[in-house]
Amino acid sequence: MAQKPRTDVRNIAIIAHVDHGKTTLVDGMLRQTNVFRSNQTLTERVLDSNDLERERGITILAKNTSIDYEDVTINIVDTPGHADFGGEVERIVNMVDGVLLLVDAVEGPMPQTRFVLRQALQKGCQVVVVVNKIDRPASRPDFVVNATFDLFIDLGATEEQADFPVIFTKALEGKAGYAADELENDLRPLFDTIIKRLPPPVVDLEGPTQLLVTTLEYSSYVGKIAVGRLTQGTLAAGQSVLQITAHG
């Protein structure tokens, strides 16, 4: 089998404690990569799609979306940030190669952040740390970055994983920067760091098709939908496939 990196793809998860701003950040990423038409009204919290999520203002089920940035498709999985839904987080880590670890500029890494980060590090994921809400009056970016580094060491991160890049953001305004006091007017620093520092998937395009299904959905228009990660082989739009069990 000839495994090769797909340099035109990144599979990433966004991990954070509840209310640290990850769904807001994803909404900003979608806006700035023109996923929506200029005249289209964008509903806030795109990935909080079911009624309970909108009511409670948190993400419960892992959601998937894709954006295109400079000839690279970035597949994003927005994961739950609440401890009650930790099983959903563990399952979704298997779909990705890299992680955005989003932490609040005041609170820093929280208990649920620790739980999820452990899963990602054990799986071997590389991490980009995103310090959000940098404009809060009590923000303490240096403390938060140091606390995050201590957490990496405590969880047994490798030397490469502990040498994580840091991006500072104001997700509500769609701004990011390499320094807390020097934000640009868009999220380009974040996109560039994702492409440069998070690895592409390595796949065998010539092997028999294998799709790891992680989510089953239903659409009244097309029926059942399986969402997952293509680990081997290829699939084309409109192609018919068969599901074959061990018993045929």
Name all domains of the chain by residue range, CATH numbers in brackets: 3-202 (3.40.50.300)
> Averaged in consecutive runs of 10 residues, what is the pLDDT profile of the chain (248 residues)?
87 83 86 67 47 42 77 85 58 87 93 82 95 95 97 96 97 95 96 97 88 80 84 86 74
Return the CA Rg of the chain.
Answer: 18
pLDDT at residue 89, rounded to an integer: 65
Write out the two tokens for 155: 């969880």
pLDDT at residue 112, rounded to an integer: 74
pLDDT at residue 53, rounded to an integer: 41
pLDDT at residue 44, rounded to an integer: 46
Q: What is the pTM of this model?
A: 0.82
pLDDT at residue 107, rounded to an integer: 93
